[in-house]
C-alpha cells in the first residue's frame, strides 16, 4: 500500500505514467504462478529476472500485427472501412495503434511503415506528403510515450521510405524507433546511405541484416519490435525472462561450479517459470479468445514464441575468470572469449532441448535473446556486448567479435556505435563498414553522433535534454527516460568509444 501511495503522490510521474504504474501494482497483488523455492532463490538473488512482467499475465509481452490485413480489410471491431487515401490511412493507423497492447501498454510494433504508406502516395507531391507525415509522426511521438515502439523500413527503397527519413531527420523524435532492413541485393546504396546519414543526426534508424534474418521463422515473415526484437508476423512473443550472468557467476565457487550447478539450475528454473507464464496466458487469461486482433486476422496465436533472454555475458565471463584466478577480459582475451562462448553454447543447447508449451512455430522451443538491460542494472552489460571501456581499438576487431556472439541469438542481438561528427560527411564509408559487418554475420547495429541530443541507451532512444530534466526531478513525457537516465550512468554510456570512418 505504501508503494501505491508513493505512485499516487509522485511529482516525477505524469498522470498516464501513474495510471500504468498503478495497473502494474494491482496485477502484482495476484499470485497465480507456481514458483518453486529454488526458482524463488534465484529470483531473490537477481540471477534470473522476469523484467517486471507482472504476477498474472493477461497480454503477451510483444504483439506483432500484420497491419497489411488491417489496411486491406479495415476493422469491423473498430468500425473502420479500408482506407482509400493517405489521410484515411494515417487516421486508421493512429486508431488501431491505440488498441494494440503489450507489456508497456503501448504498441511495440507499427509495421512496415513505408510499405503501408507507399501505395497511397500517387498524385501527391512531396511537400504535401511530408506535412501529413509530420503530423502523423508527431502524434506517435506525443501519444506513444514509450520508445520501446518500433516501425520498419525497407529492404527495398520506396518513395515513402525516403520521405519518412527526411521528416525524421527534421523532427528529431524519440518515437518511433526505426529499423531499416538492409540487404545489399535488394537495398539501393542511395537509400542505405540516406538511412545512415539520418542516423548520425537523430540516432535513427538502426539497421537489420535482412539477408540473414529473413528465414528466421521459415515461411512466416519477421519484423523488428521494441529495441531490436526479431519476431514473427503475424504473431509476437509471449514472454521474455532473462538470465543475469554476472549475478549467476557470483553465486558460483568457480567456472566448473558454475557449469555443473548454477547454470543448469538457473536454466531449468527459468524454463519452467516461462512455461508457467505462457500456460496461464494461453489457457486462463482469455486474451486470445477475446482480442479482435485474433478474430480479424492481424495476429495468429500459433506464431507466438517465448524469448529466453540473457544479459551480461561479458561481466559473467569476467567474474568467472577472476574466480578461476586468471587474467584477461571479454573482448580482449581469447581465453575469456572462449569461456563466454562455452556459456553461450550451454545455454543454446538447453534451449534446443527444453520443451516450451504452446509454441508450434519453433517446434515447441524457446529462442535465445540478448536482453538489453534495465535501469537497476549496475555492472551488467547489455546482451553479449563488450563493456564500455573494454572496446577493441580497431573497429573491425570489434565487429568480428560481435558477429561471433550474434550467431546463437535468433530473437535479437545488437551493437551500438558512437561516431565522430565527421562520419556525417562520408555515408559511403559508413555503408562499407555496415555491409562488411553484415557479411561477417553481424545481425543488427545502430549508430549515433557523439554530440547529438538523441542517443541509444541499450536499444531504445532517449534525449540527453530529457534526461537532464528527469535528473532535476521534472516530469518528462516518455517513461523510457526513467529507464535510460540511470542506465546511462550505471553503465558509463557517456564513455562509449567514439569511432571514425
pLDDT at residue 168, as a whole number: 97
Query: Residue 1: is its pLDDT beyond 70?
Result: no
Confidence of residue 377 (pLDDT cuts 50, 70, 90): confident
pLDDT at residue 93 is higher than 80: yes
Residues 485, 378 contacting (CB under 8 angstroms): no
Residue 107 clears pLDDT 60, i.e. is over it: yes
Same domain, 276 and 334: yes
Please check whether residues 323 and 338 belong to one and the same domain. yes
Please report, rounded to a whole number, the percentage of residues in the chain having pLDDT higher than 70: 100
Task: Identify whether residues 323 and 446 lie together within a single domain.
Answer: no
Question: Average of pLDDT values for 343-372?
Answer: 98
Specify the pLDDT at position 484.
86
Same structural domain, 104 and 45: no
Tell me the average pLDDT across 344-357.
98
Report in angstroms the alpha-carbon separations of 123 from 126, 131, 398.
10, 15, 47
pLDDT, residue 478, reads 85
Pick from 457, 455, 467, 454: which is nearest to 171 by CA? 454
Residue finishing a domain among 413, 446, 480 = 413
For the chain, give the mean pLDDT.
Answer: 95
pLDDT, residue 307, reads 98
Measure the CA–CA gap between 47 and 249, rounded to whole angstroms. Answer: 9
**310 neighbors 245 (Cβ within 8 angstroms):** yes
3-state secondary structure of 134: helix
**pTM for this prediction:** 0.95
Q: What average pLDDT does this structure show over 85-109?
A: 97
Residues 257 and 318 in one domain: yes
Residues 259 and 349 in one domain: yes
CA distance 459 to 226: 8
Range of the domain at 66: 61-228+414-501
419 has which bridge partners?
449, 499
Same domain, 349 and 382: yes
Evaluate the CA torsion angle 465, 471, 473, 476 in order and state its sign: positive
Q: Are residues 177 and 292 in the same domain?
A: no
- Which of 11-20, 59-68, 280-289, 429-438 has the lowest average pLDDT? 11-20
Question: Which residue has better confidence, 373 or 336?
Answer: 336
Phi-psi region of 312 (alpha: psi -120 to 50; beta: other; left: phi over 0): left
> 453: which DSSP letter?
S
- Are residues 151 and 23 part of one domain? no
**Mean pLDDT, range 123-138, rounded to an integer:** 98
Domain final residue pick, 413, 433, 456 = 413
What's the average model confidence in pLDDT over 391-395?
95
- Per-residue pLDDT at 2: 62
Using the 3D structure, point to which of 413, 433, 453 is the last residue of a domain: 413
Asked if 285 and 191 sit in the same domain, the reply is: no
**Residues 144 and 220 grouped into a single domain:** yes
Tell me which DSSP letter residue 379 carries: S
Peptide bond into 301 cis (omega under 30): no
Please tell me the predicted confidence (pLDDT) of residue 477.
86
Domain count, the chain: 3
Give CA–CA dist 163/153, Å, rounded: 11
How far apart, in Å, are the Cα atoms of 275 and each of 240, 290, 307, 493? 11, 22, 11, 35
Q: Are 408 and 474 contained in the same domain?
A: no
The pLDDT tens digits for 173-208 are 999 999 999 999 999 999 999 999 999 999 999 999
- pLDDT score of 211 more than 90: yes
Kindly report the length of the chain: 501
Amino acid at each position: 500500500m505504501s508503494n501505491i501511495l508513493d505512485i499516487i503522490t509522485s511529482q516525477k510521474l505524469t498522470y498516464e505514467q501513474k495510471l500504468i504504474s498503478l495497473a502494474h501494482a494491482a496485477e502484482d497483488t495476484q499470485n497465480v504462478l507456481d514458483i518453486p523455492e529454488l526458482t524463488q532463490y534465484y529470483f531473490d538473488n537477481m540471477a534470473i529476472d522476469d523484467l517486471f512482467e507482472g504476477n498474472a499475465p493477461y497480454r503477451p509481452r510483444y504483439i506483432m500485427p500484420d497491419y497489411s490485413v488491417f489496411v486491406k480489410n479495415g476493422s469491423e471491431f473498430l468500425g473502420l472501412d479500408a482506407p482509400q487515401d493517405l489521410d484515411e490511412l494515417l487516421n486508421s493507423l493512429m486508431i488501431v495503434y491505440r488498441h494494440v497492447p503489450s507489456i508497456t501498454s503501448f504498441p511495440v510494433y507499427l509495421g512496415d511503415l513505408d510499405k503501408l504508406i507507399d501505395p497511397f502516395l500517387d498524385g501527391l507531391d512531396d511537400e504535401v506528403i511530408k506535412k501529413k507525415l509530420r503530423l502523423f509522426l508527431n502524434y506517435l511521438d506525443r501519444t506513444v510515450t514509450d520508445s520501446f515502439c518500433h516501425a520498419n523500413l525497407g529492404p527495398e527503397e520506396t518513395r515513402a521510405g525516403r520521405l519518412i527519413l527526411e521528416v525524421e531527420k527534421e523532427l528529431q523524435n524519440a518515437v518511433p524507433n526505426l529499423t531499416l532492413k538492409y540487404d545489399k541485393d535488394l537495398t539501393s546504396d542511395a537509400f542505405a546511405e540516406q538511412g545512415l546519414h539520418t542516423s548520425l543526426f537523430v540516432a535513427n534508424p538502426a539497421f537489420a541484416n535482412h539477408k540473414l534474418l529473413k528465414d528466421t521463422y521459415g515461411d512466416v515473415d519477421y519484423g523488428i519490435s521494441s529495441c531490436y526484437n526479431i519476431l514473427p508476423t503475424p504473431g509476437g512473443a509471449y514472454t521474455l525472462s532473462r538470465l543475469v550472468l554476472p549475478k549467476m557467476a557470483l553465486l558460483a565457487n568457480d567456472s566448473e561450479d558454475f557449469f555443473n550447478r548454477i547454470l543448469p539450475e538457473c536454466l531449468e528454473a527459468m524454463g519452467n517459470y516461462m512455461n508457467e507464464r505462457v500456460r496461464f496466458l494461453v489457457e486462463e487469461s482469455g486474451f486470445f479468445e477475446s482480442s479482435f486482433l485474433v478474430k480479424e486476422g492481424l495476429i495468429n496465436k500459433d506464431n507466438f514464441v517465448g524469448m529466453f533472454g540473457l544479459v551480461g555475458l561479458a561481466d559473467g565471463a569476467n567474474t568467472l575468470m577472476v574466480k578461476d584466478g586468471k587474467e584477461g577480459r571479454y573482448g580482449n582475451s581469447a581465453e575469456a572469449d572462449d569461456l563466454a562462448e562455452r556459456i553461450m553454447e550451454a545455454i543454446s543447447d538447453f534451449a534446443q532441448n527444453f520443451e516450451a508449451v504452446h509454441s508450434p512455430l519453433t517446434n515447441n522451443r524457446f529462442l535465445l535473446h540478448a536482453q538489453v538491460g534495465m535501469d537497476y542494472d549496475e555492472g551488467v552489460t547489455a546482451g553479449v556486448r563488450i563493456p564500455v571501456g573494454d572496446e577493441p581499438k580497431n573497429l573491425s576487431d570489434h565487429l568480428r567479435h560481435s558477429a561471433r556472439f550474434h550467431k546463437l541469438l535468433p530473437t535479437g542481438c545488437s551493437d551500438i556505435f558512437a561516431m565522430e561528427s565527421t562520419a556525417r560527411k562520408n555515408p559511403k564509408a559508413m555503408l562499407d563498414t555496415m555491409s562488411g559487418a553484415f557479411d561477417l554475420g553481424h545481425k543488427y547495429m545502430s549508430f549515433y553522433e557523439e554530440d547529438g541530443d538523441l542517443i541509444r541507451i541499450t536499444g531504445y532512444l532517449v534525449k540527453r535534454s530529457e534526461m537532464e530534466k528527469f535528473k532535476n526531478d521534472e516530469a518528462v513525457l516518455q517513461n523510457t527516460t526513467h529507464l535510460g537516465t540511470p542506465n546511462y550512468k550505471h553503465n558509463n554510456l557517456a564513455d562509449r568509444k567514439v569511432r571514425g570512418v
